[in-house]
Chain A
Amino acid sequence: MPNDATLGARLATMMQDLSDAIDRTPDKAQRDQLLAKQDEIHARLQTLIDKTVKQNIVEYQQATAAVTQSIQALKDTQQDIKRVAKAIDTLAQVVGALTKLAGALA
């Protein structure tokens, strides 16, 4: 896939990995947390879409790193579903990083 290194490309991958994680998480409370994070991330994506995202700023690099870490954490849940809690933590970091990025672009 082209542009796999960009934040947008990684966010697209993360959105799919996240809904797959919801699919295989047996615990309702954790599923609800994952769903809530999915909504939060999507809301921040909408804010970012309307802005010109500069790739050379530190907030962009931090958001990209947070999303990369989250993709790995979500993939880890395929091997061990007990790792969902850790994936939820990384998703919270993604929300924070995207909020900072949007703030830097405002």
Chain B
Amino acid sequence: MNSRSVRVVAVVSLMFLASGCVGLTASQKAAIAEFSRATAAVGETTQTELTEMRERMIRTNRERLILRGPSPSLNFSSSLDGKLTISTVSVVVAAATALEGYGEMLEALVEDTQTKELHSAAEKFVTSLKQVPNVSLSPGASDAISAAIVLGGQLLIEAKKARAIKAIVPQTRPAIDQICDTLARDFDFKTAGLAADLHDATELLHGAASAAFQDTPPGGDAATAQAAIAARSVSLPALQYAIQGRVRRDEVLARISAAVAAIKKANAALADALEHDRWTLEDVKGLAGEAKALKPAITELSTRTGELLDRVKILGPARLSR
């Protein structure tokens, strides 16, 4: 038996010995469950948005090339995806997947979930985390997760579930903090992350499309009029796309950045409460409050994005008439 197996067995034994401990109260479980669901939802939304960001970057740069031709920072030898390369985006997607797995794992521990689901969530968390550079689980965190998986069906006993959560959350906190910091930076366009790169490209397209639209002369003879229509049919959709990009940045990316920061804060509060075994009513209310505040934002992200972008399609031409 290697040293890691010995450590896991020791943690499992401790969890058995602690079976006499009291479990979590109903309100504590409800608060953790709410937080877990919000965390999983933010992780999932973030993954989808990263793919969308890469597609937007490619289309934005393609439109820029069409309107302005090659420039020092964008030419025929440049990658259209800018800093949102497949390898970079894959790492950030892995960070978001790890966050989703973490939420699902906590949810499996507080809800009446099957062992298979707990195993699947824990595996998603650990596997994804390994793909994020400079983020790793401490030996204590790995052991606590492995022990929870080993216990499996034993976790139907409330006290053992509580023990597993009390071991996992504080131990994984440094890794969750780092993941949240990475995601918050990459979705804040005012720091040097992926959103900042997309923001710059969007503003360049906005300027280029606006100038191209204004530069198109009014039609004179039939041939000139046709040429003007052809030019505007390129510049106007490009301008609308840039305006949509701004809306998406302000409405979606900013919310994700704020949601991830809120998860980091709520997770730290949960870890602190579990580590020091001091669950006051305020702690429970605070954690539930943080999670509840996240839920409407996440719902809005998934349901209102299309509506927001549709509204921009109407706003676009109106802006031009100023």
Contact = CB atoms under 8 A, between A and B. Distances in A.
Interface of A: 1-4, 6, 8-9, 12-13, 15-16, 18-19, 22-24, 26, 28, 31-32, 34-35, 38-39, 42-43, 45-46, 49
Q: Classify chain B's interface size.
A: 20 to 34
A42 B322 contact: no
Contacts, number: 76
A12 B73 contact: no
Interface stretch (B43-51, B100-108, B184-192): B184-192
A32 B208 CA distance: 9
Q: Identify the 7 closest CB pairs spanning chains A and B, nearest first.
A: A19-B207, A9-B190, A19-B206, A15-B203, A22-B207, A23-B210, A19-B203
Contacts of A3: 188, 190-191
Contact of A8 (B71, B190, B214): B190
A39 B190 contact: no
B215 interface: yes
B230 to A, nearest CB: 19
15 contacts: A3-B188, A3-B191, A6-B191, A8-B192, A12-B189, A12-B199, A13-B190, A15-B199, A16-B199, A23-B206, A31-B214, A39-B71, A39-B72, A45-B200, A49-B197
B211 A22 contact: yes
Contacts of B319: 23
A39 B208 CA distance: 10
Interface string B195-209: 011011001101110
A2 B188 contact: yes
A45 B82 CA distance: 13
A31 B210 CA distance: 10
Interface of B: 68, 71-73, 83, 188-192, 196-197, 199-200, 203-204, 206-208, 210-211, 214-215, 242, 246, 319, 322
Contact of A42 (B200, B214, B246): B200
A15 B71 CA distance: 17
A74 B317 CA distance: 23
Nearest to B322: A24
Contacts of B188: 2-3
Contacts of A42: 73, 200, 204
A12 B211 contact: no
Contacts of B242: 19
B190 A4 contact: yes
B196 A8 contact: yes
Contacts of A34: 207
Contacts of B207: 18-19, 22-23, 34-35, 38
A28 B295 CA distance: 48
Contacts of B210: 19, 22-23
B260 to A, nearest CB: 12
B218 to A, nearest CB: 14
A9 B257 CA distance: 15
A16 B189 CA distance: 12
Given A15-B204, A34-B207, 10 more contacts: A2-B188, A6-B191, A8-B191, A8-B196, A19-B242, A38-B207, A39-B73, A43-B73, A49-B83, A49-B192
Nearest to A27: B214
A38 B68 CA distance: 12
A34 B68 CA distance: 14
A23 B205 CA distance: 11
